[in-house]
Structure 1
């Protein structure tokens, strides 16, 4: 059995992927207001910065920076997932349950990568912002409304046509899917 170890770094910056259990679902964008509310409430209770984010129909990617003397990103993810799931259930949306009677909306785990330096941050943010194109949802990253790319463009960090003119390949070192 593989023993997975998380890298707990106080004030660390991390790249995360959280995925729904049903990969055919579009519940994240269908109820994006509830997801945003879950993030807002969690940030009030347990502060963190969102450096980059994209919300896709069945998964999301986030670069998150934690405050000084705090390395508890699992607690934050537990809270975000729980708040979203309960808000969704309260709205009457059907959510299946597992054999224990627990809601079975999310995959139990999330993927995490510790950002090591500026180049790693930039590569991860590019991956996040290009992801809707990679999944065939839009032809240009700026066409996807659920992305921090728009904040980057407004701040002058990226041009408005970023990723839409073939300037990057969209592979980002991944194996073919």
Structure 2
């Protein structure tokens, strides 16, 4: 079976359902480790915590890695996945545009709708453990660029 590659493949079959919780991932353009830079990472984190970034969606959990971002988001009644992610990318990129004159985020994003039997807290633990699995820290609490509503 042939699997289409690229941006079109990411969008195929994508459905935005209000109230649905999604695991979302987006990468830095060209997978550059931009967020090894503390000032850029802190700027992104400030934007992530800005309520206007999410519209009517609710951000439950997130982690910013050197070259990508993961988030657990519950959609609201009005904004679909593409709107939520486009707003996220726009707001966060504008926050660092003054120090960076190049593209910040890659064009697409990956989404996974959590099934009813998937435990949100288990997925949140998986998200915040990314720096540990990547070898960036030996304890999750030592990594500064994440947050979760279940703390």
For normalisation by structure 2, the TM-score amounts to 0.79
d(CA) in 2 for partners of 1:42 and 1:73?
13
TM superposition shift of 1:148: 1.9
What is residue 65 of structure 2 aligned with on the other side? 56
Alignment of 1:94 with 2:101, yes or no, is yes
Structure with bigger strand share is 2
Q: Report the RMSD for the aligned CA atoms in angstroms.
A: 2.3
What is residue 139 of structure 1 aligned with on the other side? 138
Cα contact 1:28–1:55 (8 A) shared by 2:
no
What are the Cα deviations for residues 103-141 of structure 1, in whole angstroms up to 9, with x where unaligned? Answer: x32111101000112534233212101100111100111
d(CA) in 1 for partners of 2:90 and 2:36?
14
d(CA) in 2 for partners of 1:13 and 1:120?
11
d(CA) in 2 for partners of 1:65 and 1:12?
6
Aligned counterparts, 1:38-77, within 5 A: 38-39=47-48, 40=50, 41-43=52-54, 46-67=55-76, 69-77=77-85
Structure having greater relative contact order (Cα 8 Å, sep ≥ 6): 2
d(CA) in 1 for partners of 2:100 and 2:22?
31
For normalisation by structure 1, the TM-score amounts to 0.68
What is residue 159 of structure 1 aligned with on the other side? none
Structure 1 unaligned segments of length 5 or more: list them. 96-103, 156-177
d(CA) in 2 for partners of 1:76 and 1:28?
25
What is residue 86 of structure 2 aligned with on the other side? 78
Structure 2 unaligned segments of length 5 or more: list them. none
Q: Which has the larger radius of gyration?
A: 1
How many residues align structurally? Answer: 140
d(CA) in 1 for partners of 2:33 and 2:128?
21
Name the SS of the counterpart of 1:61 in structure 2.
strand
